[in-house]
Amino acid sequence: MSLEEIQTRIRAAEEKAGREVGSVNLIAVSKVQPDERVRAVLEQGHRQFGENKVQEAAGKWPAFREQFDGITLHLIGPLQTNKARQAMELAEVIHSLDRPKLAKTIARLAQDMGKCPDLFIQVNTGEEEQKAGVMPRDADAFVAECRGLDLPVAGLMCIPPVDEEPSLHFALLAKIAERNGLSGLSMGMSGDFESAIAQGATHVRVGSAIFGERDYT
């Protein structure tokens, strides 16, 4: 598939859901992809990208920023507290705020640095042991805690379990966001972004459908 094709499908999904065209942000997830594929998407004018790992983001995005203006980098992978400063220097948005210790660290660094990326709180909607994110039952309290720390919470993020119907998880995330007065919803990947848009996604994170399969070898 191509960037253009994904953009067309996003527009169609927005229209079908009765949502304003252009209201969904497409994050092109460039993790593990070769630089020439990323460059091709930049040359088509796309500017929002997602990376999983701080280290990998640090290795490629400073150079791309020198060549292309207006890039917004989203960090979408699990974040260790000892990498928080580097993450906040690199990314405009962090989608994986998932625990009090990280919230406190980011709040302290934000004071120190005089700036803070927009933050999405990751919710473990499937309550999977191996997955990051606050449990749904703890989400309201964690949102309040983050607000108490003056963190710029933009919304919620989830990664549904691979073997379950994603729309149920998208609906749950939307419900938690609504009752907390949060407008941002980071949900939907290559296989399910249309369903996420139907459920109110404001940010979809699409990797392989734009760039092709990731080659981890």
Q: Which parts of this chain interact with ligand PLP (CB under 6 A)?
A: 29, 31, 52, 76-77, 159, 189-190, 205-209
Q: Which is nearer to ligand PLP, 29 or 197 (CB)?
A: 29
The minimum distance between CB 13 and ligand PLP, in angstroms, equals: 15
Q: Which is nearer to ligand PLP, 181 or 216 (CB)?
A: 216
The minimum distance between CB 29 and ligand PLP, in angstroms, equals: 4
The minimum distance between CB 160 and ligand PLP, in angstroms, equals: 11
Tokens of 107: 């709040």
**What are the φ and ψ backbone dihedral angles of 17, each rounded to 5 degrees?**
-85, 0
Scan for tokens 């252009």, then name that residue: 22
Beta-carbon contacts of 126 under 8 Å, excluding residues fewer than 6 positions away, are 160, 161, 164, 169
Q: Which is nearer to ligand PLP, 6 or 174 (CB)?
A: 6
Beta-carbon contacts of 74 under 8 Å, excluding residues fewer than 6 positions away, are 27, 48, 49, 50, 51, 91, 92, 93, 94, 95, 203, 205
Q: Which is nearer to ligand PLP, 72 or 149 (CB)?
A: 72
The minimum distance between CB 174 and ligand PLP, in angstroms, equals: 17
Tokens of 130: 């191996």
Length of the chain: 217
